[in-house]
């Protein structure tokens, strides 16, 4: 399905694409938690991958996840409560691409840098 959607994306005019978005009610996310290319409010959860330090209190809402149809990854994120709309608060971030201590909703979690780098958020 993703392959067909990608082909369609490059095979239609901007006018047709805009009309499809209008019909769908201007969705914030695409199927399977992908960032919507037209959304300007979303930004990567980890804008500076080399930064370390506490970073405590930084809050955001999960908007989407960049992935390549990785169902196990999406199941893992769902188990952690990381679903679109979830509130994420960064408590501590280890340097050198280390783990992030976060609170998802009201549940403390630890996520790796690789997973965190796939998250797209909107500021809370």
The pLDDT tens digits for 78-94 are: 999 998 889 999 888 88
Q: Does residue 92 sit within a domain?
A: yes
Q: What is the CATH number of the domain that holds 118?
A: 2.30.30.90
Q: Does residue 12 sit within a domain?
A: no
**pTM of the predicted protein model:** 0.61
* Domain count across the chain: 1
Q: Does residue 94 sit within a domain?
A: yes
Q: Is 81 helix (H, G, I), strand (E, B) or coil?
A: coil
CA-CA-CA-CA dihedral for 59, 108, 71, 31, to nearest 10: -30
Q: Which domain holds residue 86?
A: 29-123
Q: Does residue 10 sit within a domain?
A: no
Q: What is the pLDDT of residue 8?
A: 67
Q: Does residue 9 sit within a domain?
A: no
Q: Does residue 47 sit within a domain?
A: yes
The 10s digit of each residue's pLDDT in 8-52 is 666 778 788 777 777 777 665 555 555 555 554 666 666 554 444
The 10s digit of each residue's pLDDT in 65-122 is 887 778 888 889 999 999 888 999 988 888 888 899 999 999 999 999 888 888 888 8
Q: Would you state the structure tokens that stand for residue 94, as one six-digit string? A: 């280890």
Q: Does residue 93 sit within a domain?
A: yes
Q: Does residue 7 sit within a domain?
A: no
CA distance 100 to 87: 15
């Amino acid at each position: 399905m993703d392959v067909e959607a990608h082909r369609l994306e490059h095979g239609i005019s901007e006018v047709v694409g805009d009309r499809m978005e209008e019909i769908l009610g201007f969705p914030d996310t695409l199927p399977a938690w992908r960032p919507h290319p037209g959304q300007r409010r979303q930004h990567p959860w980890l804008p500076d991958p080399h930064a370390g330090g506490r970073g405590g209190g930084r809050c955001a809402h999960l908007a989407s996840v960049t992935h390549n149809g990785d169902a196990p990854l999406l199941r893992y994120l769902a188990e952690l409560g990381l679903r679109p709309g979830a509130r994420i608060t960064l408590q501590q971030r280890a340097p050198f691409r280390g783990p992030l201590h976060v609170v998802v909703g009201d549940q403390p979690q630890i996520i790796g840098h690789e997973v965190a780098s796939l998250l797209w958020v909107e500021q809370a």
